[in-house]
Each structure stands twice: as structure tokens, then as C-alpha cells.
Structure 1
Amino acid sequence: MDRIELGGFLRSRRARLQPADVGLEPGPRRQTPGLRRTEVALLAGISPDYYVRLEQGRGPHPSDQVLTALGRALRLTGDEHAYLLRLARPAPPPRPHPVPANVLRLLDRLGDVPAMVLDAAYDLVAWNGMLAALIGDPATWPPRKRNRLRRLFDPADTITGNRLELARLCVADLRAGGRYPADPAVRELVDELLGESPEFARLWAEREVVVPRTLTKRTTHPIAGPLELDCEILAIPGHEHRLLIYTAAPGTASAEGLRRLRAG
């Protein structure tokens, strides 16, 4: 059990709640940001001392019943509650596997839209021709440049119009995976970005947890022009990989831009 991260996550979720959010009176002389520890313990039906020890990283392994009660008390989302369970019941990271052959065949069939496969550390491991047309051919890049999270925190990236929005979402997704610090590739990526990017360090410290299923990317391409693309993120069952497919709403300037991209 990652006691340090568990305690930090509980503190961060407690700090974002106000007494009124959970039906409590604020009371006089409130100096604590968010709820008090005693208030969380009351809401969860556990002793204040037990909750304090959990936040301080010295508590015992909490039962499923306690974790569920804490999730309700702290108003956790479904993604946040799943993350809390992973912190308390960590599983070893799965062994890396190649991208399944059927997914590679699907990429080839998606000739009209950009599509790619990312691993758990945000490394770009497979892509189709339309993605290469959109962002350049990753086969010509050094492996380090193929990491999409590094790209989001690269000050030289000036073409992603909603870079900050995507960066926040992807950091929350990286944490939600629960693979830090056990997965060496994820640990190396996080430690590197913590040392190089104050922006990443700030977002990582917020401990936001979100598993994105869709997102919107805004960018400008020299041939396609300004693009607003909807991205569907599809988990590949039994694998760490995810398939990302970019589309544009029919009849929009972005759809016409993708058509020009296909035409070359």
C-alpha cells in the first residue's frame, strides 16, 4: 500500500470540500481550508485518530468498507474512488506487450481519420498515415520525441491551441492509472517532468484524478488550417494500450481540413 500517496490524496480531497458541501455548519473560528479531519471521520463513521493516521501515512490497511465510507464522505467521483482503491490495493504493473495485431489492422483500416496507439507512459507506439500527415511522421523522430506528454510540456509547442487544457487532463489521467511509482517507465517520465517543468509539477501536486474517454484538440496545420478535432479514447482490453481516434463534425471547417489532409 502506498501510504504516503494515500495520505496526500485524502488531504487533497478534504481540502476541496466546504462544510456546506456535506451538510455541516461551518462553525466559528474555522482556519482549516476545507473540511476538518474530525468532520471527515464523522461523515465516514470512523474514529478521528484512525483517519488522522491514514492522512499521516501511518495507518493500517483500510478495509473495503472504510474505503467506501471515505469515498462517500469526500464526495469522490467514480474515477477518484477507483484510484483510492488502487492506492490501498496496489497490483503489480502488467508486463509490457506488443500492440495486438488486430489493433494494428484496425489502424490501417482507419484511412480517413488520424489515429494512434499510446502506452501507459504516453509513448506513441503505433499510428496510421493520417496521423503522420497531421503531426509529422513519428518514424523519423527519436524515441524521446514520440512521448505525447513530453510534447504537451514542451515550451516549443505553439500549435496546440488548448495545450494547457489538454496538459491538465493528461496529468490527471496519468495519475489515475495508478502506475506511479511502481511502473519504471511512468516513474521515469514523472520524475523527469517534475525536474524540468514547473507547470507539470504544479499540476501533479494537485492530485487530480480523471480517466478521459473523450477530449477535444485544437491545432493549426499548414495544409488543413485550423482544426478542432474530437478524440475518442478506447481502452484495449487486457492491455496497457489505448487507441485514440480523431474526427471532425460533418460539415465543419475542420472536416474540410481533414479532407484536404487526406488529399495531401
Structure 2
Amino acid sequence: MNREELGGFLRSRRSRIQPTEVGLAPGPRRQTPGLRREEVALLAGISVDYYIRLEQGRGPHPSDQVLTALGRTLRLTADEHDYLLRLADHSPARVGPAREVPANVRRLLDRLTDVPAMVVNACYDVLAWNSMLVALIGDLSERPPRERNTLRWLFGDQATPADKLQLARKCVADLRATGRYPGDADIRALVDDLKERSPHFAELWAARDIEVQRTLTKHMTHPIAGPIELDCDFLPIAGADQRLVIYTAAPGTPSHEALQRLRETYA
């Protein structure tokens, strides 16, 4: 059980809940934002001492019932509740991020000739891609394996571009939601490196936002196709702990026409 991270996560979620949201009076002289520890314990039906020890990283192993009560009290989302369970070892432990892409998935990539697509693991390493992704962002085979990582691209500079702030928040929340940090050496190394290189990443990581990414929107300007807005869908690959990422645009839109031009140009 990751007691330190469990305590930090509980503190961060407690601080965002206002007393009035859970039927409590605001009360005078609140020195910290959000609920008091005593209030969380009362609402969750556990002792104050027990909850304090959980936040301080020295508590006992919480039961399913306690975690469920805390999740309800702190108004956790489904993704956040899953993360809480993993922190308390209530989900099976996973091995490190897999790098071998199944043959059937590679065949699927080759058949996706109209849209850019790639396979990423839990570290956001790009493991495989199709020809349309090459047309969109360039040939990844020309980059060292370490640099085939979408988070390193996103936080490569000291300052994150303004048009990518929301995307950056979502990606960091997704990385945190895997529940692998700090137990997985690869993800721990990635996080430590990005925290050192990017103050913005360090700030987002410290916020402990949790949100599994399923669909998001990306904006970019291609040197040939011009401005493009793409829907990015993350599709889990069964049994591989990887995701197939597909970029699409609605038919009839300028972005869809831009993808068609890319296909014709780089075919």
C-alpha cells in the first residue's frame, strides 16, 4: 500500500470540497480550504483519529467499506475512486508498461489508411504508428526511442504553449490515473525527468488530478495542410495494457479535407 500517496491524495481531494456542498455550515475562521479532517471523518462514518492517520501516511490498511465511504464523502469521480482503490492495493498489481505490440494490432494500423493512428503504452511511449501519422507529424523512426514519447513532446520546453494548456492538464491527469507511480520504475523515471525539465508539469503533477483519457481534441498547424483540429480517441487494447490512439475529423470540415490532402500528398 502506498501510504504516502494515499495520504496526499486524500488531502488534495478534501481541500476542494466546500462545506456547503455536503450540507455543512461554512463556519468562521477556516484556516484551510475545503473540509476539515473531523468533518470528513464524520461524513464517512469513521473515527477522526483513524482518518488523521490515513492522511499522515501511518494508518492501517483501509477496507473496501472505508474506501467507498471516503470516495462518497469526497465526491470522487469513477476514475478517482479507481485510483484510490489502487493506492490501497485493492486492485491487482500490474507489470511495467509493455512495449511489444501484438501482431493483430499492427495489421490494424496498416489498414487504417485514411486517419493517423499510433499505439502508446502507460508511459505515453509511441510503440507503433501508421503512414498517416508519419504524414501528420513526421517519421518517428528517425527519432531515438527515448524521444518517441508524447509527454516529452508536450513538455519539451520550459513553458507550455497557451493553446496546449488544457491538453497538458488532461494528459498529466491520465498518467496519474494509471496508479503506477511510484511503483513502476519507468513511470517514476519519466515523472522525475519531466518535473525537473518543466515547472508546468511539476505543478500539474502536484495537483493530483485524476482523469482517464478516452477522447480529447488536439489543434496543430501542419506545414502543408495548414490548421487542423482533430478528435483523438484512446482505445484500450485487450490484454496488452496499451492503447490505440486514432485521430479523426468530422466529414465535410476543413480538418477532414486537410487529412485528405495529407493522404494524397504522402501516399
| TM-score, with length taken from structure 2 | 0.95
Aligned 1:135-146 pairs, distance under 5 A: 135-146=137-148
- For residue 120 of structure 1, what is the aligned residue in structure 2? 122
Is the Cα contact below 8 Å between 2:156 and 2:197 reproduced in 1? no
> Matched residues in 2 for 1:108 and 1:192: separation?
33
> Matched residues in 1 for 2:78 and 2:138: separation?
37
Aligned 1:179-198 pairs, distance under 5 A: 179-198=180-199
Shift of 1:144: 2.0
Aligned 1:110-259 pairs, distance under 5 A: 110-155=112-157, 162-259=163-260
Task: In structure 1, give the amino acid aligned to 2:69.
Answer: A
Is the Cα contact below 8 Å between 1:92 and 1:182 reproduced in 2? no
Aligned 1:15-30 pairs, distance under 5 A: 15-30=15-30
Shift of 1:173: 0.4
> Matched residues in 2 for 1:212 and 1:225: separation?
26
Between 247-256 and 22-31, the greater mean CA deviation after superposition: 22-31
Is the Cα contact below 8 Å between 1:12 and 1:207 reproduced in 2? yes
Aligned 1:59-138 pairs, distance under 5 A: 59-89=59-89, 91-94=92-95, 96=98, 98-138=100-140
Shift of 1:162: 3.2
The DSSP-based 3-state class of the residue aligned with 2:26 is: coil
After superposition, the C-alpha distances for 1:204-227 in whole angstroms (9 at most, x for unaligned) are: 000000001100000000111100
Alpha-carbon RMSD across the aligned residues, in angstroms, is 1.5
> Matched residues in 1 for 2:36 and 2:158: separation?
43
Is the Cα contact below 8 Å between 1:117 and 1:243 reproduced in 2? yes
Does structure 1 residue 48 correspond to structure 2 residue 48? yes
Between 141-150 and 253-262, the greater mean CA deviation after superposition: 141-150
Structure 1 residues 157 and 105, CA gap change in structure 2 (3 angstroms): farther
Shift of 1:92: 3.3
Is the Cα contact below 8 Å between 2:249 and 2:255 reproduced in 1? yes
The DSSP-based 3-state class of the residue aligned with 2:135 is: helix
> Matched residues in 1 for 2:147 and 2:55: separation?
38
Equivalenced residue count is 263
Is the Cα contact below 8 Å between 1:219 and 1:226 reproduced in 2? yes
Structure 1 residues 161 and 105, CA gap change in structure 2 (3 angstroms): farther
Task: In structure 2, give the amino acid aligned to 1:112.
Answer: D
> Matched residues in 1 for 2:149 and 2:239: separation?
22
Question: What are the ranges of 5 or more consecutive residues in structure 1 without an aligned counterpart?
Answer: none
Shift of 1:156: 8.5
Is the Cα contact below 8 Å between 1:161 and 1:219 reproduced in 2? no
After superposition, the C-alpha distances for 1:142-187 in whole angstroms (9 at most, x for unaligned) are: 11221110100012899x7732111110100000001111111111
Shift of 1:28: 2.1
Is the Cα contact below 8 Å between 2:71 and 2:81 reproduced in 1? yes
Once the two structures are aligned, what percentage of the paired residues are identical?
68
Structure 1 residues 250 and 200, CA gap change in structure 2 (3 angstroms): same
Shift of 1:237: 1.4
- For residue 33 of structure 1, what is the aligned residue in structure 2? 33
| TM-score, with length taken from structure 1 | 0.96
